[in-house]
Structure 1
Amino acid sequence: MDSKGVEEVDSSKKKVLVLIGPTAVGKTKMSIELAKRFNGEIISGDSMQIYKGMDIGTAKISTEEMEGVPHHLIDIKWPNESFSVAEFQSLVREKINEITSRQKLPMIVGGTGLYIQSVIHDYQFSDAPSDETFRRNLEIRAEREGKEVIYKELLQVDPVGAESIHPNNLRRVIRALEIFHCTGKTSFEFQEKQTHDLCYDTALIGLTMEREQLYQRIDKRVNMMIDQGLLEEVKGLYDSGLRDCGSIQAIGYKELYEYFDGDSPLDTAVEQLKQNSRRYAKRQLTWFRNKMDVQWFDMTDVTTNATFQKKIAEISTYIEGKLEIKSNTY
């Protein structure tokens, strides 16, 4: 998106509520209650819930759970389609404009830190320099030597960035190498150098929880996913021939693909899924705490309806003060 993107959203005048937190911390339930109180519409801030047919493994909210609250950017892509941070930024900013025009409060809810950060801060993806000759040489090498050779080069110079790109997504691999070639910085380091002023009047709320309790909730959620039919969901994707695309690298899918490939017993695959989910939660918390100015609310002791209502009231009071709006208590 070019520099016009931020101007179009008329940034400082639009209010946005952002609810983040690690997987399984309770964002979905809290977001519905806050949407009711503040007349909100929810925009998914999850990079995997955009994919159709990937419902159980991404913990996608059901129609019943929505309780009539409008949700956006769910089921907008097929699993074999690519999706970038820049595209997410553009789509979410459009939704913020639309929701605000309806006199509703836009709410971004999710756990994909970079995606959410790109929306509420002034990320300018098109500012990264390019070198057409360098890019074309990599494309030719990929044809001759194979994509994996180019990906290994990215792993050497930008292991963090490489982890977020599927080895077969040659376009993104080459773009990351191109940015490093032109700037001497990884794509993330380049973005960090930009001025990241807030684009909106933002209330940025985070839910957290004592680690052991969170990990227990994650393990329980995985067991529930298996009971709800996760195996069948992944087998359907597997049998359709879908592979070598970013969506299948999602936690909950790549582990079971290994099982269906015969590379891992089912119990090992499920345990790996739990472990990867716990590690992901830890990375999410680290990202949010290091990269975003979050007002945290601890959900550890929220175990009854009474304590949940008390926490909602606490968070609502913060939102009212931060965004200078009133809630519809009921």
Structure 2
Amino acid sequence: MNCSAHFIVGPTASGKSAAAQYIAEREGQLIVSADSMNLYRGMDIGTAKPGADERNKVDYAGIDLAEPTEKFSVAAYLEAVRPAFESGREVIVSGGTGLYIKCLTEGFDDVPPENAELRIELESLDVHSLEQRAKEDAPGLYESLTEDDRQNPRRLIRILEKKHGGSPAARPSKSWDSKPRSTVVGLHVEREELHKRIAQRVEKMYAVGLLEEARELSQLELSPTALQAIGYAEAFAVLNGEFTVEEAKERTIVRTRQLAKRQMTWFRNQLNVEWINTADYPTKEKLAEAVSGFWKKLGPTKIQM
């Protein structure tokens, strides 16, 4: 495939989606979402999916690809977004699912599909949920961990991947190791500011109807990924009388912070990222201008599919 795209990556709540939307509205690009939760239909509020107004102004791919009752593999995602790159239009890829970005920029052939899907599912869990999963799925391996390791998400994910076979999906394949890494643009947000944005996002989710959306979803036989998704698991707990709303909000904030930290670790270790410090650009317009400027300097990234 002889196609290319401009990439914008970053942790959740960093402003990458808003920047991509702003640029695409003015320049006419198609946006490919690289977010593993945006692909589920009916999971809109808790995933901060682009709304109807935004999608009326800009064409999107990689959104609403599957029912929340279904499992959806990385291979299926790549096949679903392929037409966007073959359309002949300029494309922006925006998202925080590092494995999707990695596969788009360096190829998918040597990545075990089941492990890739498992990694995405496990990275959506907090330490408590990972610990419970490890106790159930890999009790022997769990018992071999030290007390410190039982509170370490990476250790817990590692034993679950080992239990389910193959090498961890997060480990670069030989094919990845042999390929030069493309440089993509990323948004860096200072920790205190990112935590503030995450808290504001969670408050907004509840204000605009997360519990009502979760109530509708709870009538379905949801996939494990949907059941354990950040924000939704806590909303389901409120509906079941297990959490108060305030407890659910707080846990969602904690899990989202943990996710943001894992995302940044992935980007630093697995990609070449030209970071833009968002604090240097006080408005959405200024930030979008900076992103466009970096894209012009770097040029588009070749898509490996």
- Name the amino acid aligned to 1:119: L
Q: Does 1:55 align with 2:44?
A: yes
The residue that corresponds to 1:87 in the other structure is 76
Considering only CA atoms, is the larger Rg found in Structure 1 or Structure 2? Answer: 1
* 1:194 corresponds to which of 175, 180, 189: 175
Structure 1 122/59 Cα, relative in aligned 2: closer, same or farther at 3 Å?
same
Q: Does 1:178 align with 2:165?
A: yes
- Name the amino acid aligned to 1:112: T
Q: State the distance in 1 between where 2:106 and 2:140 align.
A: 30
Structure 1 270/164 Cα, relative in aligned 2: closer, same or farther at 3 Å?
farther
Task: Calculate percent identity across the aligned residue pairs.
Answer: 32
The residue that corresponds to 1:260 in the other structure is 239
| Contact map agreement 2:74 2:100 (CA 8 A) in 1 | yes
Q: The residue matched to 2:5 in structure 1 has which SS?
A: strand
The residue that corresponds to 1:242 in the other structure is 221
| Contact map agreement 1:22 1:111 (CA 8 A) in 2 | yes
Q: State the distance in 2 between where 1:299 and 1:194 align.
A: 33
Structure 1 64/127 Cα, relative in aligned 2: closer, same or farther at 3 Å?
closer
Q: State the distance in 2 between where 1:234 and 1:196 align.
A: 41
Q: State the distance in 2 between where 1:314 and 1:105 align.
A: 18
User: For residues 49-99 of structure 1, what are the alpha-carbon distances to aligned partners after superposition, in whole Å with 9 as ceiling and x for unaligned?
Assistant: 1111100000010121235211012111110100112222333334312x3
The residue that corresponds to 2:61 in the other structure is 72
Q: State the distance in 1 between where 2:293 and 2:282 align.
A: 21
Q: State the distance in 2 between where 1:186 and 1:301 align.
A: 37
Q: Which moved more, 1:37-46 or 1:248-257?
A: 37-46
Q: Give 1:266 shift.
A: 2.3
| Contact map agreement 1:122 1:196 (CA 8 A) in 2 | no
Q: Which moved more, 1:265-274 or 1:46-55?
A: 265-274
Q: Give 1:192 shift.
A: 3.5
Counterparts of 1:104-119 in structure 2 under 5 Å?
104-119=89-104
Q: State the distance in 2 between where 1:243 and 1:268 align.
A: 23
Q: Does 1:217 align with 2:204?
A: no
| Contact map agreement 2:110 2:173 (CA 8 A) in 1 | no
- Name the amino acid aligned to 1:66: R
Unmatched runs of 5 consecutive residues or more in structure 1: 1-8, 129-146, 166-172, 180-184, 326-330
Q: State the distance in 2 between where 1:164 and 1:247 align.
A: 21
Q: Give 1:272 shift.
A: 0.5
Structure 1 262/292 Cα, relative in aligned 2: closer, same or farther at 3 Å?
same
The residue that corresponds to 1:44 in the other structure is 33
User: For residues 162-202 of structure 1, what are the alpha-carbon distances to aligned partners after superposition, in whole Å with 9 as ceiling and x for unaligned?
Assistant: 7499xxxxxxx7996332xxxxx43433x4433356699x6
Unmatched runs of 5 consecutive residues or more in structure 2: 114-133, 146-152
Q: Give 1:161 shift.
A: 8.9
Q: State the distance in 2 between where 1:148 and 1:278 align.
A: 24
Structure 1 204/42 Cα, relative in aligned 2: closer, same or farther at 3 Å?
same
Q: Give 1:283 shift.
A: 1.5
User: For residues 296-317 of structure 1, what are the alpha-carbon distances to aligned partners after superposition, in whole Å with 9 as ceiling and x for unaligned?
Assistant: 111124334xxx3333333222
| Contact map agreement 1:16 1:108 (CA 8 A) in 2 | yes
Q: CA RMSD in A?
A: 3.2
| Contact map agreement 1:17 1:203 (CA 8 A) in 2 | no
Structure 1 150/90 Cα, relative in aligned 2: closer, same or farther at 3 Å?
same
Q: State the distance in 2 between where 1:211 and 1:79 align.
A: 32
| Contact map agreement 1:17 1:108 (CA 8 A) in 2 | yes
Aligned residues: 274
Structure 1 187/203 Cα, relative in aligned 2: closer, same or farther at 3 Å?
closer
Q: State the TM-score, normalized to the length of structure 2.
A: 0.78
The residue that corresponds to 1:278 in the other structure is 257
The residue that corresponds to 1:323 in the other structure is 299
| Contact map agreement 1:40 1:105 (CA 8 A) in 2 | yes
| Contact map agreement 2:8 2:184 (CA 8 A) in 1 | yes
| Contact map agreement 2:111 2:173 (CA 8 A) in 1 | no
| Contact map agreement 1:176 1:187 (CA 8 A) in 2 | no
Q: State the distance in 2 between where 1:87 and 1:113 align.
A: 16
| Contact map agreement 1:123 1:194 (CA 8 A) in 2 | no
Q: State the TM-score, normalized to the length of structure 1.
A: 0.72
Q: State the distance in 2 between where 1:324 and 1:78 align.
A: 32
* 2:208 corresponds to which of 225, 228, 245: 228
Q: State the distance in 1 between where 2:90 and 2:183 align.
A: 11
Structure 1 278/150 Cα, relative in aligned 2: closer, same or farther at 3 Å?
closer
